Amino acid sequence: MLTNHFLTADERAELALFTESLERFCAAEIEPRYRDWEKAGQVPRELFNKMGEQGFLCADVPEAYGGAGASVNFSFAVIEVLSRRGYAGFVGGMQVHTDIIPPYLLHFGTEAQRQYWLPRMVQGTAVAAIAMTEPGAGSDLKAIRTHARRDGDSYVINGSKIFISNGQNADLFVLAAKTDPAAGARGVSLFLVDGSTPGLRRGARLEKIGQHAGDTSELFFDDMRVPADALLGGAESQGFVQMMRELPRERLIIAVQGVHGAKGALGVTLRYVQERQAFGQPIAQFQNTRFKLAEVATQIAAAEAFNNACIDAYRRGELTPEAASALKLHASELFCRVADECLQLFGGYGYMAEYPISRFWTDARVLRIYGGTSEIMKELVARSLLGR
C-alpha cells in the first residue's frame, strides 16, 4: 500500500476499499483478456469507459470537474495495482491519462478548458495523450520542429510526433509546438487538440520489444487548424515553463510504476520457487535462491521508502525536480535489475512468454528511457549537487 501519512482513518479505510474494488475489477475485466490485448497491440477503447464508470480514472480531480476530489494516493493506487499485476503496457497510457494530463489542465488551463475536458476524462469518454517527443527531439525541447502559425482566430500546425502513448485511442492530445521558433525551448507552446481535428493523422501502432498492450504511435499534422482557444491557458510560449512544473509528478508516477512493478516481479517469483522442484526439493531451499530473494526484497523496501517520502513531499507541495529525478532514476533501474534477477531464478522457463516474469522483464526496460532517460536523470541530480 502506498504511503498514507496524510490520510485520516476514514480515508485509509476508503483507500483500502478502493484498492480491493480495483483488484476485483482487474481479475474480472483485465486478467482474462490481457494476453489478447498484447497480441492486438493495444487495450480496447472501452476499457477506459469501464474504468471511468467505476471511478478509477483521475481520482484526485476536484468535484467541480467531475472527479472525486480524493487524495492523490487514490490516483497513485491505480498505478500501483496495475503495475504489481504486470500490466505495464496499459500503465504507460493510464498514467498519462490519469496522472500527467489532469495537472496541466488544473494548473494552467482556462476554466472553459477544464470544464470541457476534465469531466470527460474522469468518465473515460475522452482518452488523453501527451504529444511532445519527435523523431529528432526527445529531452531536447529546443529541437522540436512541429510549429504553430497564428492565422486570424486559429493556429495552423505542421509537424510530427513519435512514441505517443494512447496515440490510437486518444481523443485529446496535449501537443507541444513552436510558436516562436527563434526562442528555442522558450518558444514552445502547448495546445489542446481534439483527436478528430482535420489534418491530424495517426500512423500505425509502433512495434516494441515490451509493453505490447501499450498503444504507442506516430502522429502527423498537415496544415491542422485549431482554434486560438485551444492554446493551453491562452498564453503563447509558456510550454517550457508548464512542462518543467509538471515533470516532478510525471517522474514520481513512473517511479510508482517501477517500485510496484518490481514488487509484482518478486511476487510471481516467490510463488514459482516454492512450487518448482529441482534435485528433489523446491528451488526455494537452495541458498542462492534465498540470498537473491533476500537481496531483491531489501532493495525494493529501500526504494519504496524513498518513493513514499517523495509522495509525502509532493502532497506538501515540496517535491523538488532533483528529488523526483533521483527517485525516477533509482526506481527505473531497480525494476530492470529486479526483473532480471527474478527471471534468472525461473531458468529456461523465464524466457518463455507464457510465464509472467518474462513480461515484467521486457516491460521494465523502457522505464529507464521514457519520462527522461537515466542519463538525463543523472545529469539533473549532478547539476543540483554541483550547481551547474
Name the active-site residue from 38, 80, 134, 250.
Answer: 250
Q: How far apart are CA 57 and CA 100, in angstroms?
A: 12
Q: Which residues 6+ apart lie within 8 Å of 262 measured at CB?
A: 296, 299, 300, 303, 331, 334, 335, 338, 339
C-alpha cell at 274: 516454492
Active site residue 295: no
Residue with cell 468518465: 123
Helix axes 239-275, 287-315, angle to 10 degrees: 150
Which of the residues are catalytic? Answer: 250
